[in-house]
Amino acid sequence: MTNKLSVLLSGSVLFMALTASPSHGCVGRILNFSTDGSPEQKAAGQLMATYINERTGTTVNLVENPPTKDGSCPADICIQYLKPALAGMGGEQPQDEQEGYSKAKEYYLENKNMVWLKPFGFKGPLQQGDGSMAVPVSPRTSLTKFPVLDRVINKLSGMITDQTVQEFQSGGPAAAKEFLKSRKLI
C-alpha cells in the first residue's frame, strides 16, 4: 500500500511539474515578428516582443516588411488590418466590424492557412477615412513551432489600445515592461 501511495504521489508531482508552466515550450527559440514600419505597428510590436519574451523565454526579432497585398504573413507573426484584408477577399463587405473579423478569420484559415488571433484593441490608420481593427495574424505552421504563442498573445486582446500605442511610440522596451508589470501581465 505504501509503494502504491508513493508511486501515485510521484506521478502526481511529475504531472504537476509538466503542466504547471506550459509556456516553456518556446524557451530558447527565435520568433520573427513583422511590422509594416508604421509608428503604431512598431509600438505594438515592441510591447508584444517584450510580453512574449517575458512569458515564454522566446527571443523576438522585430523585422520590417511592407504590407502584403494578399494578406499573407512573411514572418512567424504579423499585424494585419481588417478592412484591407476584407477588400482582398472580394465580395460584399460586412458593415459590422465583428462580423467582418469572423469572416476574415474563417477565410484566411481556409484559403491561406493563416490564423487570425483576437484583435489588439487599436485601429490602424487608413488613407480613406477611419481606422481599421488591428489583428495579430500567424501562419498555422508558426503556431505549431510555438505551441503556446496563440494563448499568450490572446491574453493581450483589447489591451493594446490607440492610447497605449501612442504612449509607446517613443517608450521602447523599458516602457513596455513597465506597462506589462502595471497590468500584472509579467
Residue 179 DSSP class: H
CA distance 66 to 135: 16
In a domain, 144, yes or no: yes
In a domain, 20, yes or no: no
Is a pLDDT exceeding 70 seen at residue 3?
Answer: no
In a domain, 127, yes or no: yes
Q: Is the dihedral of CA 148, 113, 32, 130 positive or negative?
A: negative
In a domain, 8, yes or no: no
If one counts the domains in the chain, the total is 1
In a domain, 142, yes or no: yes
Q: Could you tell me the CATH number of the domain that includes residue 150?
A: 3.40.190.10
Tens of pLDDT, residues 135-149: 999 999 999 999 899
In a domain, 4, yes or no: no
pLDDT at residue number 26: 56
Is a pLDDT exceeding 50 seen at residue 165?
Answer: yes
Tens of pLDDT, residues 44-95: 899 999 999 999 999 999 999 887 777 788 899 999 988 888 888 887 778 8
Count other C-beta atoms under 10 Å from residue 155's C-beta.
12
Q: DSSP letters along 8-56, please?
A: HHHHHHHHHHHHH-GGGGGTT-EEEEEE-S-HHHHHHHHHHHHHHHHHH
Range of the domain at 42: 25-182
Q: DSSP letters along 66-105, please?
A: PPPTT---SSSEEEEEHHHHHHHH-SPPPSSHHHHHHHHH
In a domain, 16, yes or no: no
CA distance 71 to 52: 23
The H or E element that residue 164 is part of is helix 162-168
In a domain, 43, yes or no: yes
